């Protein structure tokens, strides 16, 4: 049996004295796409960032392919939120994608032509072949998101952790990202996305982790993404929720 | 005049030493300053410079007490470096253990360290021989008094900075651009950060000898800020920054050689400011001129589009739109809030571009085949966008990227087809152009 790409055991994270994640347990199944869903401030991004060791966790254990992150690093790729960087930085799209190859290039060695070729291939995979030499501030928001995705693709990882890749992107970008998710899944790779749009969870993902400080429910979308579980996750914001659920059943989603 | 020739021919040994030292320092400061700027730590550089003063003064006191030479540069600069490290450490400490924000922490450390430095310095000057020790040179810089030994010291320090920045170029770039990604990828972000700050401290310590600790931050920040106007590539930017730093140092030293009563350090900073001003206006990537040209082009394109759409809509209003149909200029004028002169100018420029022809009395315009196709494309695109915003307002803001010229580039085909159906429905009521790609032969 293959090891779970990501296993989180009673992970707790606190900012100052405020608890953000509380005893989170989660297992991500290999070769599937998983959405982490929850209200604002539920700790969705924090979960990913703590799992990767970007922020200190108060307690708990995170295993990637059965080992600590430091040992599984080459098999894991991270797509941060687009807003986390300054896009005015003096590099072009290809330079950013090449950053995904820096570990493979190694310390102190420059990016060579074969790496640039790999970066261009990754850009082509997200439909940005013509934008390789475009300065990154001159890309639209959706294109910037795709550049980040291409950088992760260039890493050729087995597990992709993406922080809100679908957040305020244009439709062309949405299609390009979906295409990539399908292809990664077809190659047996695993994808975990922080996702905010309840309408599309059923269409885009196999599994879902409903998070609000702690895991409310986790499992396949068909079994887990129920009205009852969503109510538990989102609490009082019912009217909004009912709308989303109604919408989902209209589309022939898992709830009827 | 004589002084200028003496300088240009590098006749004085002293001039040669000073020029070489200052230029090396300027280039190295520009290079490492590029990363400091991109890491958004420019103010930390300033705090660092001011924080070196108590180090220099304390080192003097200790050397004096221990009976060592109080003029030994390694001792004084060693003190400066340690004080610089302490200053940076104090900023980090304040930031970590309190809720005080960055800017306040920097201001506190800068002023407190400088105040302490001034206090100790005053004490030093009351010591026998202290007044003539020339410690105030460290505040304002005394480039002209640079010795061969100083220049050698600058040479080695600059060499370390060049080597460090070249070897770790891509690592520093990654650190400055996306720290989270670097950390997730397993790069030792903290060590890289410390290394970068160490190089900055090194060049600062070297610089306080040349331009003084008040002004050293100028050569860290101004050349790289100027370089940003010239390039969108990091490598080019770093090179330009080094060149600007070198050129400013050379110019400053030259002017002070010709006018010996002016301080070289301040002249170096003023030279870099002049180069910054030139870059700001003439920079080929983000300079004022290039930017206003871009804006001008965009406005021109927009006006052209407005004109074509107005003509098309006039033709359409008076029956079926067709390429050969002449349209009175007066009715186009009604559609656009332009003055008659502006409109005439737009029409003339569109005619020159071969998009339309005018009747000899300029009373009527007629789109050419090419102008008609273009106008139809614009009108269709515009109306699809309008429909989209009207019918999909709930999803619009995130998805609408009106920079993209064609709706097909932004929306998926299904949605465009849906909008076209809506458009068709409206066309039965009004004459609305179809998709030129589909309809035209």
- Closest alpha carbon to B330 in B359, B301, B371: B359
- Is A22 in the B-facing interface, judged by CB distances under 8 Å? no
Q: What is the pLDDT of residue B384?
A: 78
Q: What is the pLDDT of residue A171?
A: 77
Helix/strand/coil (H, E, C) string of chain A? CCCCCEEEEEEEEEECCEEEEEEEEEEECCCCEEEEECCCCCCHHHHHHHHCCCCCCCEEEEEECCECHHHHHHHEEEECCHHHCCCCCCCEHHHHHHHHHHHHHCCCCCCCHHHHHHHHHHHHHCCCHHHCCCEHHHCCHHHHHHHHHHHHHHCCCCEEEEECCCCCCCHHHHHHHHHHHHHHHHCCCEEEEEECCHHHHHHHCCEEEEEECEEEEEEEHHHHCCHHHHHHHHCCCHHHHHHHHHHHHHCCCCCC
Nearest to A172 among B168, B403, B410 (CB): B410
The string of pLDDT tens digits covering residues B172-213 is 999 999 999 999 999 999 999 999 999 999 999 988 877 888
- Closest alpha carbon to B27 in B192, B155, B215, B139: B155
- Is A27 in the B-facing interface, judged by CB distances under 8 Å? no
| Whole-angstrom distance, CA of residue A149 vs CA of residue A135 | 17
The string of pLDDT tens digits covering residues A188-234 is 999 999 998 898 999 999 999 999 999 999 999 999 999 889 988 88
- Lowest-pLDDT range of A150-159, B198-207, B414-423: B414-423
The distance of B80 to chain A (nearest Cα, Å) reads: 30
Q: How many CB pairs under 8 A join A and B?
A: 99
Long-range contacts of A40-44 (CB under 8 A, 24+ apart): A42/A211, A42/A212, A42/A213, A42/A233, A43/A13, A43/A211, A43/A212, A43/A213, A44/A194, A44/A211
Q: Across the interface, do A91 and B404 touch by the CB < 8 Å criterion?
A: no
**B202, burial (CB in 10 Å: exposed 0-12, middle 13-18, buried 19+):** buried
- Lowest-pLDDT range of B34-48, B167-181, B309-323, B340-354: B309-323
Query: If contacts are CB pairs under 8 Å, which of residues 185-244 in chain A contact chain B?
Result: none
Q: What is the pLDDT of residue B231?
A: 95
From chain B, which residues contact A within 8 Å (Cβ)? 38, 40, 167-171, 173-174, 176-178, 180-181, 183-187, 228, 231-234, 237, 397-401, 403-404, 409-412, 415
Q: What is the pLDDT of residue A67?
A: 95
Average pLDDT of chain A, as a whole number: 90
The distance of B272 to chain A (nearest Cα, Å) reads: 21
- Is A103 in the B-facing interface, judged by CB distances under 8 Å? yes
- In percent, the amount of chain B with pLDDT more than 70 equals 89
- Is A180 in the B-facing interface, judged by CB distances under 8 Å? no
- Is A85 in the B-facing interface, judged by CB distances under 8 Å? yes
Nearest to B401 among A80, A140, A151 (CB): A140
Mutate to test the interface with A, among B37, B178, B228, B403 (most CBs of A within 10 A): B178
Q: Across the interface, do B184 and A52 touch by the CB < 8 Å criterion?
A: yes
Mutate to test the interface with B, among A16, A82, A90, A102 (most CBs of B within 10 A): A90
Residue bearing the bigger pLDDT, B16 or B27: B27
With cut-offs at 50, 70 and 90, classify the pLDDT of residue B236.
Answer: very high
| ipTM metric | 0.91
Nearest to A91 among B234, B404, B415 (CB): B234
Highest mean pLDDT among B74-78, B110-114, B264-268, B358-362: B110-114
The string of pLDDT tens digits covering residues B71-101 is 778 888 899 999 999 999 999 899 888 888 9
- Is A55 in the B-facing interface, judged by CB distances under 8 Å? no
**B418, burial (CB in 10 Å: exposed 0-12, middle 13-18, buried 19+):** middle
Chain A residues in contact with B399 by the CB 8 A cut-off are 168-171
Q: Across the interface, do B173 and A168 touch by the CB < 8 Å criterion?
A: no
Chain B residues in contact with A76 by the CB 8 A cut-off are 184
With cut-offs at 50, 70 and 90, classify the pLDDT of residue A242.
Answer: low
């Amino acid at each position: 049996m293959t090891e779970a790409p990501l296993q989180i055991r009673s992970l707790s994270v606190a900012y100052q004295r405020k608890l953000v994640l509380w005893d989170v347990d989660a297992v991500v199944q290999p070769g599937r796409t998983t959405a982490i869903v929850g209200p604002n401030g539920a700790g969705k991004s924090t979960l990913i960032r703590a799992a990767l060791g970007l922020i200190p966790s108060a307690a708990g254990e995170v295993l990637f392919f059965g080992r600590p992150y430091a040992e599984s690093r080459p098999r894991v790729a991270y797509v941060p939120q687009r807003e986390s960087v300054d896009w005015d930085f003096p590099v072009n799209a290809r330079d950013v994608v090449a950053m995904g190859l820096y570990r493979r290039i190694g310390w102190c060695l420059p990016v060579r032509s074969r790496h640039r070729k790999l970066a261009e291939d990754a850009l082509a995979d997200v439909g940005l072949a013509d934008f390789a030499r475009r300065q990154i501030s001159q890309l639209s928001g959706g294109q910037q998101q795709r550049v980040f995705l291409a950088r992760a693709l260039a890493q050729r990882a087995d597990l992709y952790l993406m922080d809100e890749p679908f957040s305020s992107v244009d439709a062309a970008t949405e299609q390009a990202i979906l295409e990539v998710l399908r292809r990664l899944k077809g190659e047996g790779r695993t994808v975990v996305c922080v996702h905010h749009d309840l309408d599309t969870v059923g269409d885009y993902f196999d599994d879902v982790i409903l998070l609000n400080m702690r895991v409310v429910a986790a499992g396949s979308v068909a079994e887990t993404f129920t009205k009852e579980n969503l109510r538990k996750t989102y609490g009082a914001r019912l009217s909004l929720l009912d709308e989303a659920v109604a919408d989902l059943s209209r589309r022939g989603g898992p709830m009827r | 005049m004589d002084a200028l020739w003496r300088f240009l021919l590098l006749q004085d040994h002293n001039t040669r030493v000073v020029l070489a030292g200052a230029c090396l320092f300027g280039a190295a400061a520009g290079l490492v300053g590029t990363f400091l700027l991109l890491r958004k730590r420019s103010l930390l550089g300033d705090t660092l410079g001011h924080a070196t003063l108590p180090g220099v003064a304390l080192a003097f006191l200790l050397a004096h007490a221990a009976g060592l030479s109080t003029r030994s540069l390694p001792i004084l600069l060693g003190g400066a470096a340690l004080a610089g490290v302490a200053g940076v450490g104090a900023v980090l400490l304040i930031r970590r253990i309190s809720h005080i924000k960055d800017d306040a922490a920097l201001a506190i450390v800068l002023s407190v360290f400088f105040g302490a430095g001034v206090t100790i310095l005053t004490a030093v000057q009351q010591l026998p021989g202290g007044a003539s020790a020339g410690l105030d040179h460290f505040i304002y810089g005394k480039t002209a008094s640079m010795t061969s030994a100083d220049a050698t010291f600058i040479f080695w320090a600059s060499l370390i900075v060049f080597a460090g920045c070249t070897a770790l170029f891509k690592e520093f770039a990654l650190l400055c651009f996306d720290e989270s990604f670097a950390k997730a990828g397993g790069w030792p972000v903290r060590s890289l950060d410390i290394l970068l700050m160490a190089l900055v401290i090194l060049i600062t310590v070297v610089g306080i000898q040349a331009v003084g600790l008040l002004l050293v931050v100028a050569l860290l920040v101004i050349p790289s800020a100027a370089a940003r106007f010239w390039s969108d590539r990091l490598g080019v930017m770093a090179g330009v920054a080094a060149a600007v730093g070198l050129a400013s140092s050379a110019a400053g030293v030259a002017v002070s050689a010709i006018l010996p009563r002016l301080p070289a350090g301040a002249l170096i900073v003023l030279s870099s400011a002049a180069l910054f001003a030139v870059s700001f206006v003439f920079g080929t990537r983000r300079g004022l001129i290039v930017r206003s040209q871009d804006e001008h082009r965009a406005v021109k394109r927009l006006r052209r589009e407005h004109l074509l759409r107005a003509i098309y809509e006039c033709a359409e209003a008076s029956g079926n739109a067709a390429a050969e149909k002449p349209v009175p200029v007066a009715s186009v004028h009604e559609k656009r809030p332009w003055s008659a002169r502006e409109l005439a100018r737009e029409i003339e420029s569109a005619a020159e571009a071969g998009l339309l022809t005018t009747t000899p009395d300029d009373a009527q315009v007629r789109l050419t085949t090419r102008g008609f196709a273009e106008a139809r494309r614009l009108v269709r695109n515009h109306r699809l966008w309008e429909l989209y915003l009207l019918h999909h307002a709930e999803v619009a803001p995130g998805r609408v990227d009106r920079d993209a010229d064609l709706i097909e580039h932004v929306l998926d085909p299904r949605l465009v087809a849906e909008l076209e159906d809506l458009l068709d429905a409206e066309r039965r009521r009004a004459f609305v152009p179809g998709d030129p790609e589909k309809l035209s032969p």
